[in-house]
C-alpha cells in the first residue's frame, strides 16, 4: 500500500506541475520563436510564482519517483503516470475551459481500465 501511495503522490505532483506551469504560461502569454521573445520569456518566467511552483512540484515529484523506482518494477509503476493525463484533461476542462470531446472521454475511460488492470496484477 505504501508503494501505491508513493506512486500516486508522484503522479499528482507531476500533473500538478503541468497545471501550474500552464497557469503561469497563460499569464506570460504566447512565446514566439525568436531570440528577443525567448529572452523576454525567460525574464517573465524567472519572476512568475506559478512557474516556480511547477518547477518545485517537478523536483519533489522526481525525488518521490526515485523512491518508487527503488521499490517496485518499472513495468508496474510507469503506466500509473497515465493518471496524470486524466487529471490534466479534467482540470483543463473545468479550470482552463479546454474542450472535452467524446474521443477524450473514451481515451480517459481506456486509461482508467488499463490502470485498474495493472493495479490488480
CB of 111 within 8 A of CB of 85? yes
CA pair distance 58, 115, nearest whole angstrom: 22
- The pLDDT of residue 103 is 92
Q: What is the pLDDT of residue 93?
A: 93
* Phi, psi (rounded to 5 degrees) for 3: -65, -45
Q: What is the dihedral of CA 74, 76, 79, 81, to 10 degrees?
A: -70
Residue 2 has which C-alpha cell?
505504501
pLDDT of residue 8: 94
Task: Compute mean pLDDT per 10 residues along the chain, 121 residues long, and list them.
Answer: 93 96 93 87 92 97 97 90 89 92 91 83 73
- Over its C-alpha atoms, the chain yields an Rg (Å, rounded) of 17
Return the pLDDT at 30. 87
Amino acid at each position: 500500500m505504501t508503494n501505491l501511495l508513493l506512486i500516486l503522490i508522484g503522479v499528482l505532483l507531476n500533473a500538478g506541475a503541468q497545471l501550474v506551469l500552464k497557469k503561469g504560461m497563460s499569464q506570460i502569454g504566447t512565446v514566439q520563436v525568436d531570440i528577443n521573445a525567448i529572452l523576454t520569456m525567460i525574464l517573465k518566467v524567472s519572476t512568475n510564482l506559478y512557474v516556480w511552483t511547477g518547477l518545485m512540484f517537478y523536483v519533489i515529484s522526481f525525488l518521490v519517483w526515485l523512491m518508487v523506482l527503488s521499490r517496485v518494477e518499472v513495468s508496474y509503476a510507469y503506466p500509473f503516470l497515465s493518471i496524470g493525463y486524466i487529471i490534466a484533461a479534467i482540470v483543463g476542462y473545468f479550470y482552463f475551459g479546454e474542450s472535452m470531446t467524446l474521443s477524450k472521454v473514451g481515451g480517459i475511460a481506456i486509461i482508467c481500465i488499463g490502470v485498474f488492470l495493472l493495479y490488480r496484477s
